[in-house]
Amino acid sequence: MTFDPQKPYNDLPLLPPAVELESRPVLKRAIAANKALAELKGAGELVPNQAVLIQSIGLQEAKLSSEIENIVTTNDELYRAFANKGAKADPHTKEVLRYNDALWHGFDAIKNQNRPLTTNLFEELFKQIKQSSAGVRKTPGTKLATGAGKVIYSPPEGEVILRDKLANLERFIYAEDGIDPLVKLAVVHYQFEAIHPFSDGNGRTGRILNILFLIEQGLLDIPILYLSRYIIENKNAYYSGLRVVTEKGDWESWILYMLKAIEQTARETREKILSIRDLMNADIEKVKAELPKIYSKDLLEQLYHQPYCKIRFLEEAGIAQRQTASHYLKELARIGVLKVIKIGRELYYINGKFLDLLIK
Ligand SMILES: Nc1ncnc2c1ncn2[C@@H]1O[C@H](COP(=O)(O)OP(=O)(O)O)[C@@H](O)[C@H]1O
Ligand SMILES: [Mg+2]
């Protein structure tokens, strides 16, 4: 069986791969990655209300995962659009918001509805991201090319074949085979991308699948480990890593890449969360001292749900009526906790230090 980038790769091998996945270097790095991930999970105990943060952390991932696919928006556009539920946003920003919705849809499905990771769920994610009514590809012709137009991979074709390979992927996900879950994650991500079940959106759907897998495996309670920043910073290795599995059966390089990505990202995310916690505590002390009549826990938490706050959010959260909410935000801006900007007729109260930490 020889691989030809121009021909649909219907010979893509089923899982598990016919090689020893857990070589010594892989096992060594898997231990380090698992440790870093466990420490990230444990950071939950250090941050009293982590649920406050996950919204914004997820939205950053939506932005970066889309950026890998050249769907680009700015933080300002994104957070404004998010604050306005997508109204008047440009097409790319809307697509990023749809990615965010798909992420939460997937999280809800596995966490609250106890649904497994299946082809049906992957199709739901794809439909939401691409706002499409299509599912698994039925028509031929999907190809992956470099920016210069050179075809580097042609995924399998034929709906039956694609569904068979996806069913095999599902079985692999749930097989009790003793493979380290993080090694498994690397294999699952390669295989999903190699199957490339959809006409577009495979990269993004596959990266949502990664976080859902970590939660499904109990390695995280909440969705906070996202690899897109690492992938952007190590983009060539991401593409070549996927390619050499296909071309040379070199699983080890790919698995090491993903383990490194997990380890580094877990560390950085933990530090980020702790910095945000420190910032929030400092704000709490400042507001308690300078605006004791205004301070409430709910109000301060509201400022950390998303970095762009509006008067309406305080109303909707039941914190205050419009007039009072407006007064609160003005006072918070006066003491420097927020800064106010006016765009058109809309006022936004921006938590600038929080924003800086989020996008760092
Ligand atoms: N050689 C390759 N083999 C398999 N998958 C690849 C290869 N190169 C890139 N990919 C995957 O394909 C994704 C892009 O596919 P695409 O359907 O366009 O996703 P999206 O719409 O999210 O842009 C990349 O993010 C990557 O995960
Ligand atoms: Mg694409």
Contact 103, 126 (CB under 8 A): no
User: Atom 24 in ligand 1: which residue has the minimum CA distance?
Assistant: 203
Nearest bound ligand to the CA of residue 142: 1
Q: What is the pLDDT tens value at each position of the chain, 360 positions in all?
A: 579 999 999 999 999 999 999 999 999 999 999 999 999 999 877 776 777 788 999 999 999 999 999 999 999 999 999 999 999 899 999 999 999 999 999 999 999 999 999 999 999 999 999 999 999 999 999 999 998 999 999 999 999 999 999 999 999 999 999 999 999 999 999 999 999 999 999 999 999 999 999 999 999 999 999 999 999 999 999 999 999 999 999 999 999 999 999 999 999 999 999 999 999 999 999 999 999 999 999 999 999 999 999 999 999 999 999 999 999 999 999 999 999 999 888 899 999 999 999 998
> Looking at the CA of 145, which ligand is closest?
1
- Tell me the pLDDT tens digit for each residue of 311-348: 999 999 999 999 999 999 999 999 999 999 998 888 99
Instruction: Answer yes or no: are the C-beta atoms of 77 and 93 closer than 8 Å.
Output: yes
Task: Starting at the earlier edge strand, list the strands of the sheet with 339-343.
Answer: 308-309, 346-350, 339-343
Q: Quick check: 348 and 308 in contact, CB under 8 A?
A: yes
Q: Which of 144, 198, 231 to mutate to test the pocket of ligand 1 (most atoms within 8 A of CB)?
A: 144
> In CATH, which of 1.25.40.10, 1.10.3290.10, 2.60.120.10, 1.10.10.10 is domain 24-272?
1.10.3290.10
Residue of minimum CA distance from atom 10 in ligand 1: 193
Dihedral of CA 304/306/309/312: which sign? negative
Nearest CA to ligand 1 atom 26: 203
Distance 144 CA to ligand 2 centre (A): 9
Dump pLDDT digits (tens) for 345-358.
889 999 999 999 99
Q: Cα–Cα distance between 238 and 257 in angstroms, integer?
A: 8
Q: 244 with 254: CB under 8 angstroms?
A: yes
Residue 238 CA, ligand 1 centroid: distance in Å: 10
Instruction: Give the predicted TM-score (pTM) of the model.
Output: 0.96
Query: 291-359 maps to which CATH number?
Result: 1.10.10.10
Closest-lying ligand to the alpha carbon of 204? 1
Ligand 1 atom closest to residue 142's alpha carbon, by position in its atom list: 17
Ligand 1, atom 8: closest residue by C-alpha: 239
CA distance linking residue 44 with residue 269, whole number of Å: 12
**Domain segments of the chain as ranges:** 24-272, 291-359
